[in-house]
């Protein structure tokens, strides 16, 4: 198995573990309700686009990947 395959398997295991932790704890408090997150609620329609949350998660992951590289 190559280096890329090993990294993908480890990343998958970490993501499954994080998913289990977040589902048991109910997520990270405040994340998903930040200023800049778009939330539109109408009678029969709800649209949610967490743009600020995605940017913060992207920055954190970029820093972690750079740290462990």
What pLDDT, on the 0 to 100 scale, is given for residue 45?
A: 94
C-alpha span between 61 and 17 (Å, rounded): 16
C-alpha span between 67 and 34 (Å, rounded): 26
Whole-structure pTM value: 0.58
| Together in a domain, 42 and 64 | yes
Q: Which residues of the chain have pLDDT under 50?
A: none
What's the sign of the alpha-carbon dihedral 55, 47, 25, 7?
A: negative
| Together in a domain, 35 and 68 | yes
Q: What total of structural domains would you count in the chain? A: 2
What pLDDT, on the 0 to 100 scale, is given for residue 21?
A: 81
What pLDDT, on the 0 to 100 scale, is given for residue 62?
A: 93
DSSP assignment string, 14-38: HHHHHHHHHHHHTS-TTTT--TT-E
| Together in a domain, 66 and 36 | yes
What pLDDT, on the 0 to 100 scale, is given for residue 1?
A: 66
The single residue listed with the structure tokens 């649209």 is: 47
C-alpha span between 43 and 36 (Å, rounded): 22
| Together in a domain, 36 and 6 | no
């Amino acid at each position: 198995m190559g280096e890329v395959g090993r990294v993908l398997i480890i990343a998958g295991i970490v993501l499954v573990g994080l998913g289990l932790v977040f589902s048991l704890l109910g997520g990270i408090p405040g994340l998903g309700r930040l200023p800049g997150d778009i939330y539109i609620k109408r009678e029969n329609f709800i649209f949610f686009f967490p743009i600020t949350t995605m940017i913060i998660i992207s920055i954190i992951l970029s820093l972690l990947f750079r740290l462990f590289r």
